[in-house]
Amino acid sequence: MSISLESIRWCRSFCTNRPNLIRQSMNSQMEKRANLTIRAILLICMVFSALQTVRAANADEALRDAIRQTFEAAPELRETDVSGVYARRAYTPLWQSPTRREQLLTALADLTHDGLDPEHYALSQLRQDFAHASNTEHRLAAELAATRNCLLALTHLQHGVLDPVRDGGYWRGPNGAAPTLPAATEALAALADNDLDALFARFRPSTPLYLKLREALITARQAAPNAWPQVPAGLTIKPGKRDDRLPGLRTRLIASRHLGSEHAAGDQMDDALVEAVKTFQRENGLEADGAVGPATLHALNMTREARLSSLRINLERARWIAPHQRGNHVMVDVTGYRLSYFSDQTERWHARTQVGMPSRETPELFSRITHLTVNPTWTVPPTILKKDIVPKASTDPNYLASRNIRVFDRDGTELDPATVDWSRPGNLTLRQDFGDGSALGKVAIRFANPYAIYLHDTPNQRQFRRAQRTFSSGCVRVENALDLVQLLLEPGGDSHLARFDKALTSGRTGNLNLPQPVPIIVAYLTAGPDDNGRIVFRQDIYKRDAMLSAKLDQAGKSIADKKL
């Protein structure tokens, strides 16, 4: 029996709708006479379906052979991650299912919410390649390109686009490495049906910091480009003063819901407007004095594009630190002037900090806290000796003695400060003994790093009241530092706490090892959560954002040029 092309087309349509057709046929008056015809049609449909299955199987087998031959013919490709995926799958294709292809395209498009550009992962090109993959050659190109870009996306979500040490200025100690994370090649090779969304979710950081930054980016993208009006530049607007710019300031603060609409009119800085400005200043890490000076004006006039850029930069930073945010750990948020003690991702304790001034920056690093110095002495760093101590000691004979600072030569012999030629002091060491007013307070908390920085107590408690606290020479001053010590010693039980208390009350300087090292992250974030968990934009106190933004731009342009 020969089957015409029209019959095959009719059979294909019938197979698609056969439940309804069969039901209609069975209900017709010709039910008995149709039985034989239906059997014949069903047989034809089964044959047609089998032919389609065989054809697809042959095509998949041809693609599988093409994938294997591609890597066998090019030894330089055998060590690549893409090759690793297919080797683990016995070269079985990944992207021949229309459903999985659509999942990949959707997952790549959603990278925009992570501050990543989907086009850096060839989204449009992949969509076009999938639509026109009509032969083995085209299917092979689309298959390998999809795998390459999926691996890149997963890796960048998990670790960041840039390297935190090479590109971000981080120092990582020998014991500061992050825990081992799942490999993208192994995870993708083992991918099950309809599991791609879960795979991207698993590789995307799940820390509260990352998720809040991501949510803030989504919200910022939805805002209109000029949602908040600009306040014109000019002299500082102080409480009680009149200024032609105040109607614009009121409009701006009403738009961000810092001021009620009933206060829209007025050219004087009245109490309601001052309080609104103070609230805005507190939320943005500024001195809450109610005056609109250059820093407050800059924050008020931050454009939508600037906010998007800041969120993109800080999502990258959050990807760097996310692998380290596990178990018990300490995190110093430099621009947030905050130290937190975490158990896993739950903050158990936090305190205000003072960090390095712009000329003596607090560096970013990953390390491990190993020990404490109780009743610490302070050896004056060379920079402070040269820039701060020597000029004062040369003009005030009692300056060193009043601060319990002693002078030693290169051999360790103590010198009388009066005998030193402070115009040419030479190779001297200055050390402050422990006591009232000691620069390091009652405890220094030590961790390996090449900058000779540490956490420490401080007698300068009043400075914690300031909103911007860049007062140190790079070390981190911690408010209520003894409370942090209690947490660090907690795993050792009462015996470690008793040893610390005994050492502290003795008044003698000595070291005490922690019962177990505690990881520490010193991070620089110019967008981060406030005390209420809301993302706020902070001052770029060390001017690091522009360089990181440029490096991200450059990396994005080079991604497409990478080989398999």
Q: What is the pLDDT of residues 343-373, one digit of tens each?
A: 988 999 999 999 999 999 999 999 999 999 9
pLDDT for 471 beyond 50: yes
CA distance 126 to 121: 9
Element (H, E) at 384: helix 382-384
**Taking all residues of the chain, what is their mean pLDDT, rounded to a whole number?**
87
Residue among 173, 126, 170, 180 nearest 152 (CA): 126
Residue among 420, 383, 382, 373 nearest 400 (CA): 420
CA distance 148 to 184: 11
Element (H, E) at 329: strand 328-333
pLDDT for 43 beyond 90: no
Average pLDDT over residues 115-128: 95
Cβ-proximal residues to 237 (8 Å cutoff; 6+ apart), any chain: 243, 245, 246, 249, 269, 291, 292
pTM: 0.84
Greater confidence (55 vs 293) lies with 293
**How many Cα atoms sit within 13 Å of 6 on the Cβ side?**
0
> Is residue 283 very low, low, confident or very high in pLDDT (cuts 50, 70, 90)?
confident
Burial of 75 (0-12, 13-18, 19+ CB in 10 A): exposed
As separate numbers, helices (DSSP H) first and strands (DSSP E) second, the chain gives 19, 16
pLDDT of residue 3: 39
Average pLDDT over residues 88-98: 93
Active-site positions read 456, 475
pLDDT of residue 449: 95
| Pair 281, 460: CB distance under 8 Å | no
pLDDT of residue 9: 46
Q: Which residues pair with 153 in a beta bridge?
A: none
Q: Is 444 helix (H, G, I), strand (E, B) or coil?
A: strand
